[in-house]
Amino acid sequence: MHYCKRRINGFTRKEALKKHKTYCNEQDAVRVILPKPNTVLCFKNYNTSMRVPFVIYADFESCIKPLDTCQPQTNESYTNKIQKHMPISFSIYVKCFDDSVCTPHAVTFAAENEDDYVGQIFVDKLEEIIKKIYNQTKFAKNIIYTKMARKILF
């Protein structure tokens, strides 16, 4: 397989990858598709929703590596493993409800060889992003008590 490291797409022929790259290089790494103008989004079950200022989308890509299997033992239960999913790349997209607080950005990574531990790199990048968001938004907040809040709390 031949992979486009930018889009994380796999192609069976080099020519197909080369043809894809001419198109791919003209496009953004992440494409946001918004609803058409003058359309209305409807939400149900507000009681199960939670307002959060940030959302992080993540996508993992993997390839399937065949495994050599051993002979099962007849006196024990066994699972015959025939393949293993090997993570090869990921993409992370961070979006804040207010772009002035944090501009939307994407992080992509593609393994260059089998020794790259993609899972650990993903966790490290995610941790780095979360710490950055926390440090950007960490500030003291004064509690404002209203008459309604006092009735509920006290």
- H or E segment at 9? strand 9-11
Count of domains observed in the chain: 2
What is the model's pLDDT at position 7?
Answer: 67
pLDDT at 124: 95
Please check whether residue 146 lies inside any domain of the structure: yes
pLDDT at 8: 67
For 57, the 3-state DSSP assignment is strand
Residues 58 and 4 in one domain: no
Residue 100's SS3 state is: coil
* Per-residue pLDDT at 150: 61
Q: Looking at the structure, tell me whether residues 7 and 62 fall in a common domain.
A: no
Distance CA 6, CA 29 (A): 6
Residue 140 three-state SS: coil
- The segments of the chain whose pLDDT lies below 50 read none
Residue 43 domain-assigned (yes or no): no
Q: What per-residue confidence (pLDDT) applies to 57?
A: 92
- pLDDT (0 to 100) of residue 94: 92
- Within its chain, how far is the Cα of 79 from the centroid? 31
For residue 22, give both structure tokens.
């001419």
Q: What is the pLDDT of residue 19?
A: 85
Domain that holds residue 108: 50-70+79-154
Cβ–Cβ under 8 Å, residues 103 and 30: no
